[in-house]
Amino acid sequence: MHDLIRISEVFSEHHAEILKRLDAAGAKKLGTEYYLLPGPMPASELSLFVRWQMPIHHSWPCSPEKTEHFLDKACYALEQKCAAAGVLQVMVSPLISGSPHPFFKKLATALRQRLMASLLEKKAKIDPEEQNPQDLTLFCLVGKEGLFASIATPRDCGGFYAGGSKYISHNAAHSISRAGAKIAEALHFLRLHHPALPETTHWLELGASPGGMTAELLERGYRVTAVDRAPMDPRISSHPRLSCYAENAAAFFPPRGERYDALLCDMNGPARESFAIVAAKLPYLESGALIIFTLKTHKTGSLDEWLELRRHVQRDATAAGLRSIAHTHLTYNRHEFTLIWRKG
């Protein structure tokens, strides 16, 4: 069985090396970030660079634009394939990431609507955000190279949406900076591995200024203690659920008796130094608290340098008593990775 994987264009100059080290040098490129491997992707720490991975259960190499009755034929084939599979969701996306060609964007929408109507006719239409990450889903990707489909779970593939990306607007009323989309996507991704955090969650945010991530957390109803020497955006600095501390994160220690349910660190600077600051705050986190950490790297680094840095930070985290939940490269990450741990 073939696997279809997605590697961000951020690492485009390293794509060939990643594929070679995955024993997939003969992979066929599809769209802008996807590759059809000659077989299953082997277990590898290089999965850190793979945002999406799905086994191919049905493929139709063709030109949809030039194929007569493509939509009807594609739906019929997929309905036959899924008839006894018991899928509970259908997700379809174009193979072209970013701003896809209008034809394929409309085709993906039409294909999903038709399949939802036929495959889920007698089942509840579950919102992708609410579905169980272990429920079987029909994932389809369509582009000028044809149609590629998989019957798999969101957890196994790496996302609730086909291709692993959820569109998050940078222009929402509460948005302050691009970083807000990054934490919004991280919390969305987290649901693959952990229930959504309740509104009562109290976050400790290190390196918070100007407040892009802070604003997103506040929008979700959370309470936030934000620490940064730089000022917070005045649009949120007086928010009733926000406590701001204008000081170095390394020197910050919470008021007596204050405890946190989750910690967020997006600080710039050497990654191991940033994690050492996080580790010093762990005694103030509740048992079971979540830690979301942005592993900052150098844009000009090599694969081995990035992987070694991740290894060092993970060893530090293990020594600090943290349990790894997931490590990934999000759509809104650049030359950085999102690492998620749990205390205890």
pLDDT, residue 172, reads 64
Q: What is the pLDDT along the chain (344 residues), one digit of tens a residue?
A: 899 999 999 999 999 999 999 999 889 999 989 999 999 999 999 999 999 999 999 999 999 999 999 999 999 999 999 988 999 999 999 998 776 689 999 999 999 999 999 998 767 667 888 899 999 999 999 999 999 999 999 999 999 999 999 888 766 656 667 889 999 999 999 999 999 999 999 999 999 999 999 999 999 999 999 999 999 999 999 999 999 999 999 999 999 999 999 999 999 999 999 999 999 999 999 999 999 999 999 877 899 999 999 999 999 999 999 999 999 999 999 999 999 999 99
Secondary structure E strands in the chain: 3-7, 28-30, 34-36, 50-55, 58-61, 89-94, 137-143, 146-152, 202-206, 223-227, 242-245, 260-265, 285-296, 322-328, 336-343
As to burial, measured by CB atoms within 10 angstroms (0-12 exposed, 13-18 middle, 19+ buried), residue 200 is: exposed
What are the tokens at 112?
């999903």
The phi, psi pair for 150, rounded to 5°, reads -145, 145
Q: Are 340 and 322 in contact (CB under 8 A)?
A: no
What are the tokens at 328?
């990934």
**Residue closest to 204 by CA, chosen among 256, 262, 282, 257:** 262
**Residue closest to 264 by CA, chosen among 175, 334, 191, 190:** 190
Tell me how far apart the alpha carbons of residues 93 and 139 are, in angstroms, rounded to a whole number: 8
Burial 219-231 (b: 16+ CB within 10 A, else e): ebebbbbbbbeee
Q: Are 40 and 1 in contact (CB under 8 A)?
A: yes
Identify the DSSP state of 215.
H
Question: Domains of the chain by range and CATH?
Answer: 3-157 (3.30.2300.10), 179-343 (3.40.50.150)
Tell me how far apart the alpha carbons of residues 258 and 6 are, in angstroms, rounded to a whole number: 42
pTM as predicted: 0.94
What are the tokens at 116?
């939802």
The phi, psi pair for 268, rounded to 5°, reads -80, 165
Q: Are 163 and 141 in contact (CB under 8 A)?
A: yes
User: What is the identity of the amino acid at 305?
Assistant: E
Cβ neighbour number for residue 69 with a 10 Å cutoff? 9
As to burial, measured by CB atoms within 10 angstroms (0-12 exposed, 13-18 middle, 19+ buried), residue 25 is: exposed
Strand partners, 293: 265, 339
How many helices (H) does the chain have, and how many strands (E)? 8, 15
